[in-house]
Chain A
Amino acid sequence: MLRMDGFVYRHASSWEDALALWQSNPEAQYIAGGTDLLPNVKHGLFAPKLLVGIGGVPAGVRREAEAIVISAATRLDDLAVDSSIREHLAPLAQAAALVASPQLRAMATLGGNVMLDTRCMYYNQTLFWRQALGYCLKAEGTWCHVIAGPKTCVASQSSDTVPVLLALDARLRLLGPEGRRELSIRELYQYNGMDHLRLTAGELLTDVVIPTPGPGFRGSYSKLRTRDSIDFPQMGLAVCGQWEGSTPRTLEIVVGAVSPQPKPVRGLDAFVGAPLDDAAIGAIADLVHKQTRPQGSVHGDSNWRRQMAAVFTRRALTALRG
């Protein structure tokens, strides 16, 4: 069995408590569901001396003025069946229900899904395997085996909920050594698989704040994967908008799991305000195809994943326009 070694565990009962514990040890890491962190520790990718458990911090969904606020400690399976999420933010419930497997959804938190480390077939492997590889840019090495170069790590942001949260314009409440701040989720990610989160050390995600969608909101999340359970996305596509019949009044499309950064599709304004006919849908699908450049860091032929972004776009829009 892969064993872990060398850390102690402390349980935090509040975000403030968690931060204080984190500050007590320079080699501390937070652990919520642990579903991504512990495999990485077992693989020798991280060697924390202290794990600060934040899975027990109060979870749940609540309403604030004009917004739905989700505690970062909310379990994905709870999110998937939460009545207000299903009613107002159906694509988020859909994405949460498509993450991994039932057990993993019962453990994993929304915060963990947002903060998920980037993934790569050359990175998420055992220490032995990576040693045989000669390591990679993201861990201990100097070379990215995906793009065969020494400069950029293209490990993939692989969350299912993240493309939806971008499409919904979610804001993130953070607590860190410098205090509290709020950040648009669109500002969180950068195109660097080694350091894809624009955060300061020790910052915790406490809440995800989603503006309550306006009337006529419809959206969907579609996930490309080999198996219909367990697998991470090979590509994920969120489409959200406000609709009047078949006319989108707003339209957001975000492609996930193709690179270190989720990819909001640009140029959709041209299609807003008129009924979405087949030609318009075809044009949007072409736009998505053009702007989607999947990296080979996750399973599946990159070119095929790119084509699938277009196919999924066409299918999602056709279904959403009614």
Chain B
Amino acid sequence: MKSLVTLHVNGEPLSLAVPASWTLLEALRYGAGLTGSKQGCDKGDCGACTVLLDGKPVLSCLTLAHGVRGEVTTIEGLATPAGPDPIQRAFDVCGALQCGFCQPGMILSARALLNRVGKPTDGEIREALSGNLCRCTGYTKIFEAVRMAADGCERHVPIRYGTPSEGFDVIGARGRKADSIQKATGEAIYTDDIQLPRMAHGKILRSPHAHARILSIDTSAASALPGVFAVMTGADLPTAYCIIPWTPDETALAVGKVRYIGEGVAAVAAVDEETANRAILAIKVEYEPLPIVKDAEAAIAPGAPLVHELDWKGRPWADNVCKEVDLRFGDVEAGFASADAIVEDRWFYEGSTHAAIEPHCAIGQWSADNKLTVWSATQVSHYLHRELAKVLGVGTEDVRVIQPVVGGAFGGKSEPFDLEFCVAVLAKKAGRPVKILYTREEVFYAHRGRHPMDMAFRVGGTKDGRITAVESDILIDGGAYHSFGLVTTYYAGQLLTGPVGFESYHFRSRRVYTNKPCCGPKRGHGSVQPRFAFECAIDELAERLELDPIELRRKNMVTAGERTVNGLLVTSSGIAECLDAVERASRWTARRGKLPYGRGLGVAASMYISGTAYPIYPNEMPQSGVMLRADRSGKITVFCGANDIGQGSDGMLAYIVAEETGVSPEDITVVSGDTELTPVDLGSYSSRVTFMAGIAAQEAGRTMGTAVREAVAALWKVPTDRVAKGFGVYTDRDDSTRSIGAREALILAEAAAGTPLVSAGGYRTRKVGGDYRGGTIGASPAYSATAHVCEVSVDPETGIVRVEKVWAAHDCGRALNPQLVEGQIEGSVYMGYAEALMEAHTFDERGLHSGPNLLDYRIPTSMECPDFIAQIVESIDPGGPYGAKEAGEGPLHPVIPAIANAIADAVGIRLRRIPFTPDRVLAAIRAGRA
């Protein structure tokens, strides 16, 4: 029952009729429309809902609206008519915002700190922000922003403020992100911030059994509840789908059988979330529990129960192995025979999840003429568009997918999820828009995170430092469905062959079904796990061969123009420079192996793809399209299907178009991730966007730039090549007194064309990859390279490992905006650090998650996060836009083995299982002494 409450918010009285059970967060967001305060964890673990109460940061999700006495300040209350608060501007300028979802809370905590302490120390900054979890930045740029605000930050800063690369006007300059001030002020609209008239709220009933047959579902009591508009079950959507079109093994809601705890079984839409919650509890499902497959080892045991009885073609499965790859390159036996030392061991990589602070959310709405619009926090709006049409049985022309601002993804939103289908069906049945917002717990069940991998590796090398042979046998725990599993199984072997190369290679990888939430692509999809094993193994190999670990890596580098042992063409590589950089910065030679007991340095290297060479579904169309439209006010609008998930792809498009047209990035608007308005881009996965959408933007920009130069040339009656583009201006190369502003130039060009000034560009598939079955999986038009050195201290009495510093050198080709590249490096290193030390997405014997919330599943706070020193190496790639390659995933890989190798240097133990929890470390130290 609602009752009136009068709050004092941002200096104004605010009277709202809200239920007594509503928190301040609910009242602000859903009562007052102040959606800048975010909801991330449901219950006080993440800090995204932080507001100030009488100047102190408090959690609005654990504050009853009716219990508030005092003045509330939300993110919307910080800015004044004179402009944003300096702390908001500092976050914007420093690149402290990526997805922006945690930042309103973070900024308020920072504001309170600065009000209390004018010039805080680094320790005070870390402490003050330690209740606000950020998943994107690794906190580095956030600390920088708070320091900048303390020193005084201008309220207005131009979007480009660094020096561009030589020969460029925009490219290479440090600059703000396209949308960061909107994020810093709470203006950015995320999916759950959208409220539509008459909108109903959906909930999904989930299976409490890891493996069971569904005998019956009785929804009558739920349907009869007042306020319930629609009920659905798996029978409403029996068409199977999968992000990989070859392996459709999943339905929107379970049909016939459930395969993990948390799988959707039925769904309802009701007048509010509370009623929807009551309704799903009223649904009666009769289950026949089945024996479960709890992990990969159990999956391959003789007589194991089958997770799936039939495959997508109706053929019976003989076992739980859903994909097996076995590939040989070169003569492995001869390679081992010639080795002077062989390291052979097993490594285990624990599962982990993305834990983006924004939970998944989707809204479905049908128009009167039967057209469906779905707003979703997705990173693949195009694939979602296709799968929605397929599963719903409607034409793609009747479906529109809109991606609002996304609050972090990391691979966790890169395929369709149950809620997106359910909102469509429920909205149809209810005759009104329906929203479903996952609880944090549901995010853990949706998962698609890092696969646990059990990895046997054998690596041989010679005294002169050649790695002659590598052999691996990898068992991959896939969870209940396929997801990207076909690709994962290849990636586990295919992506290991550089930047440290080897002469012969045999790998076998098997992905198995188990009764757990489905694994998928988490940042560094498929290759982070074997990279851990391999980089640890070659560290041991170096020790046995009495070689410096960096030297061993140098001796085996795959350099530009070479092919790896499995046929991947490395078009550019800065690995040598990366190794040099971290060796120098860490003072490796003087310190490694020479630090006191308990302190150590470790190194590791890696490479990663800049997009997969081929689209997920075979077609001849461009993998990325960009359209430009100039208007007479001197602005350009960029249309592209690419999904900005916080990494800054909208900004990247704007910088490139600015570079090519001379229009300032501030005058460029990007419309992205809307399937009705934008040309197709395949989505934000596989580190493809800068490379592919960047090429498309470059082409579109160049076409428009040429048209403008031709129009200016006609005006000046000079050859086109005399017209030079500058920053916001076109000039005559031969007459420095003559110039014309970009705005006037656009008007001239429109007049010359006689049509609106538009252009288009595309990224067309390039034929690359090895000439064998599977040779195109792992093939990419370009590969990044990375090397890290980590410094750790290990407390030999407690086993507690502290990572003190990570020097991360990453070759991203040309850095289009170094600030954003650094953000990607720092965020990647943070995420790898977290996997190495604390995160574990684990399940018990029942298949029950060990703690699906952000208190039990611990992600690092600002307190223990190491110092990250990101160094950019620019090997200009011949095929990338201005030579750019990926930066978003590669830098994650080396962190885990570099930490393991540093622990070995510190205390002489080799850890082969992540996470390196203190009890394990202590046990290993003691076992080493025994």
Q: Please indicate whether A and B come from the same complex rather than being unrelated chains.
A: yes
**B residues in contact with A4, CB < 8 Å:** 21-23
B44 adjacent to A35 (CB under 8 Å)? yes
B109 adjacent to A102 (CB under 8 Å)? yes
B208 adjacent to A132 (CB under 8 Å)? yes
Given A56-B69, A133-B846, are A107 and B59 neighbors across the interface (CB < 8 Å)? yes
Q: Which has the most chain A C-beta neighbours within 10 Å: B19, B39, B62, B261?
A: B62
- Measured between alpha carbons, how far is A133 from B262 in the docked complex, in Å? 12
- Measured between alpha carbons, how far is A8 from B66 in the docked complex, in Å? 9
Interface string of B16-32 (1 = CB under 8 A from A): 00011111001000000
Check if A84 is an interface residue, CB within 8 A of chain B.
Answer: no
Q: Which of B45, B57, B274, B919 contacts A230 (CB 8 A)?
A: B45
Check if A25 is an interface residue, CB within 8 A of chain B.
Answer: no
- Measured between alpha carbons, how far is A102 from B797 in the docked complex, in Å? 29
**A residues in contact with B42, CB < 8 Å:** 1-2, 42
**B residues in contact with A8, CB < 8 Å:** 1, 20
Q: Which of B47, B851, B858, B862 contacts A231 (CB 8 A)?
A: B858
- Measured between alpha carbons, how far is A301 from B109 in the docked complex, in Å? 34
Least Cβ–Cβ distance between B811 and chain A, in angstroms: 32
**B residues in contact with A5, CB < 8 Å:** 19, 21, 274, 277-278
B131 adjacent to A304 (CB under 8 Å)? no
Given A53-B64, A229-B862, A300-B919, are A102 and B208 neighbors across the interface (CB < 8 Å)? no
A228 adjacent to B919 (CB under 8 Å)? no
Q: Which of B21, B43, B849 contacts A6 (CB 8 A)?
A: B21
A107 adjacent to B63 (CB under 8 Å)? yes
Check if B798 is an interface residue, CB within 8 A of chain A.
Answer: yes
**B residues in contact with A128, CB < 8 Å:** 206, 208, 441
- Measured between alpha carbons, how far is A33 from B851 in the docked complex, in Å? 24
Q: Which has the most chain B C-beta neighbours within 10 Å: A103, A307, A308?
A: A103
Check if A83 is an interface residue, CB within 8 A of chain B.
Answer: no
A101 adjacent to B131 (CB under 8 Å)? yes
Check if A198 is an interface residue, CB within 8 A of chain B.
Answer: no
A126 adjacent to B21 (CB under 8 Å)? no
Q: Which has the most chain B C-beta neighbours within 10 Å: A121, A229, A231, A307?
A: A229
Least Cβ–Cβ distance between A151 and chain B, in angstroms: 22
Which of chain A's residues has its CB closest to B42's CB? Answer: A2
- Measured between alpha carbons, how far is A106 from B54 in the docked complex, in Å? 11
A11 adjacent to B208 (CB under 8 Å)? no
Which of chain A's residues has its CB closest to B923's CB? Answer: A304
Least Cβ–Cβ distance between B667 and chain A, in angstroms: 39
Tell me which residues from 207 to 264 in chain A have a Cβ below 8 Å from any Cβ of chain B.
226-232
A229 adjacent to B861 (CB under 8 Å)? yes
Check if B58 is an interface residue, CB within 8 A of chain A.
Answer: yes
- Measured between alpha carbons, how far is A42 from B918 in the docked complex, in Å? 32
**A residues in contact with B850, CB < 8 Å:** 121
B437 adjacent to A1 (CB under 8 Å)? yes
Check if A188 is an interface residue, CB within 8 A of chain B.
Answer: no
Check if B799 is an interface residue, CB within 8 A of chain A.
Answer: yes
Check if B269 is an interface residue, CB within 8 A of chain A.
Answer: no
A9 adjacent to B64 (CB under 8 Å)? yes
- Measured between alpha carbons, how far is A16 from B858 in the docked complex, in Å? 41
Tell me which residues from 288 to 322 in chain A have a Cβ below 8 Å from any Cβ of chain B.
299-301, 303-304, 307-308, 311
- Measured between alpha carbons, how far is A42 from B41 in the docked complex, in Å? 12
Which of chain A's residues has its CB closest to B109's CB? Answer: A102
Tell me which residues from 65 to 79 in chain A have a Cβ below 8 Å from any Cβ of chain B.
77
**A residues in contact with B208, CB < 8 Å:** 128, 131-132
Q: Which of A11, A104, A129, A230 contacts B441 (CB 8 A)?
A: A129
Given A230-B855, A304-B799, are A34 and B64 neighbors across the interface (CB < 8 Å)? yes
A307 adjacent to B922 (CB under 8 Å)? yes
Q: Which of B22, B45, B131, B798 contacts A308 (CB 8 A)?
A: B798
Q: Which of A51, A56, A107, A132 contacts B261 (CB 8 A)?
A: A132
Least Cβ–Cβ distance between A134 and chain B, in angstroms: 8
Interface string of B41-71 (1 = CB under 8 A from A): 0111101001001001111001110110100
Check if A38 is an interface residue, CB within 8 A of chain B.
Answer: yes
B69 adjacent to A1 (CB under 8 Å)? no
**A residues in contact with B678, CB < 8 Å:** none
**B residues in contact with A307, CB < 8 Å:** 922
A31 adjacent to B277 (CB under 8 Å)? no
- Measured between alpha carbons, how far is A2 from B852 in the docked complex, in Å? 13
Given A1-B39, A227-B858, A304-B918, are A39 and B56 neighbors across the interface (CB < 8 Å)? no
Tell me which residues from 6 to 38 in chain A have a Cβ below 8 Å from any Cβ of chain B.
6-9, 11, 31, 33-35, 38
- Measured between alpha carbons, how far is A53 from B20 in the docked complex, in Å? 12
- Measured between alpha carbons, how far is A39 from B127 in the docked complex, in Å? 24
B130 adjacent to A129 (CB under 8 Å)? no
Check if B140 is an interface residue, CB within 8 A of chain A.
Answer: no
Which of chain B's residues has its CB closest to A5's CB? Answer: B274
Q: Which of A39, A102, A311 contacts B130 (CB 8 A)?
A: A102
**A residues in contact with B861, CB < 8 Å:** 101, 227-230
**A residues in contact with B64, CB < 8 Å:** 9, 31, 34, 38, 51, 53
- Measured between alpha carbons, how far is A167 from B440 in the docked complex, in Å? 38
A38 adjacent to B43 (CB under 8 Å)? yes
Check if A268 is an interface residue, CB within 8 A of chain B.
Answer: no
Least Cβ–Cβ distance between A101 and chain B, in angstroms: 3
- Measured between alpha carbons, how far is A104 from B43 in the docked complex, in Å? 11
- Measured between alpha carbons, how far is A307 from B919 in the docked complex, in Å? 10
Check if A125 is an interface residue, CB within 8 A of chain B.
Answer: yes
Q: Which of A31, A104, A131 contacts B44 (CB 8 A)?
A: A104
- Measured between alpha carbons, how far is A124 from B855 in the docked complex, in Å? 10
**B residues in contact with A230, CB < 8 Å:** 45, 130-131, 133, 855, 858, 861
**A residues in contact with B187, CB < 8 Å:** none
Which of chain A's residues has its CB closest to B273's CB? Answer: A3
Interface string of A100-130 (1 = CB under 8 A from B): 1111101100000000000001001110110
- Measured between alpha carbons, how far is A204 from B26 in the docked complex, in Å? 29
Check if A55 is an interface residue, CB within 8 A of chain B.
Answer: yes
Check if B864 is an interface residue, CB within 8 A of chain A.
Answer: yes
Least Cβ–Cβ distance between A300 and chain B, in angstroms: 7
**B residues in contact with A227, CB < 8 Å:** 838, 858, 860-861, 863-864
Which of chain B's residues has its CB closest to A106's CB? Answer: B56
**B residues in contact with A226, CB < 8 Å:** 838, 858
- Measured between alpha carbons, how far is A301 from B862 in the docked complex, in Å? 25
- Measured between alpha carbons, how far is A227 from B208 in the docked complex, in Å? 31
Least Cβ–Cβ distance between A76 and chain B, in angstroms: 12
**A residues in contact with B918, CB < 8 Å:** 304
Q: Which of B22, B206, B863, B922 contacts A304 (CB 8 A)?
A: B922
A102 adjacent to B206 (CB under 8 Å)? no
Check if B146 is an interface residue, CB within 8 A of chain A.
Answer: no
**B residues in contact with A232, CB < 8 Å:** 855
**A residues in contact with B67, CB < 8 Å:** 9, 11, 31, 34, 51, 53, 55
Q: Which of A34, A39, A301, A311 contacts B798 (CB 8 A)?
A: A311
- Measured between alpha carbons, how far is A100 from B861 in the docked complex, in Å? 11
Which of chain A's residues has its CB closest to B797's CB? Answer: A311
Least Cβ–Cβ distance between A285 and chain B, in angstroms: 11
**A residues in contact with B838, CB < 8 Å:** 226-227
- Measured between alpha carbons, how far is A43 from B62 in the docked complex, in Å? 13
A39 adjacent to B849 (CB under 8 Å)? no
Least Cβ–Cβ distance between A173 and chain B, in angstroms: 24
Which of chain A's residues has its CB closest to B128's CB? Answer: A102
A103 adjacent to B50 (CB under 8 Å)? yes
Check if B531 is an interface residue, CB within 8 A of chain A.
Answer: no
Check if B185 is an interface residue, CB within 8 A of chain A.
Answer: no
Tell me which residues from 55 to 91 in chain B have a Cβ below 8 Å from any Cβ of chain A.
56-59, 62-64, 66-67, 69
**A residues in contact with B50, CB < 8 Å:** 103
Given contacts A1-B42, A38-B44, A230-B133, 15 further A-B contacts (CB under 8 A): A1-B26, A8-B1, A34-B67, A51-B64, A53-B64, A77-B56, A129-B852, A131-B208, A132-B208, A132-B848, A227-B861, A229-B862, A301-B919, A303-B919, A307-B922
A-B residue pairs in contact (CB < 8 Å), sample of 5? A1-B273, A2-B439, A5-B21, A228-B130, A308-B798
6 tightest Cβ-Cβ pairs between the two chains A and B: A101-B131, A229-B130, A228-B863, A304-B919, A132-B208, A301-B919
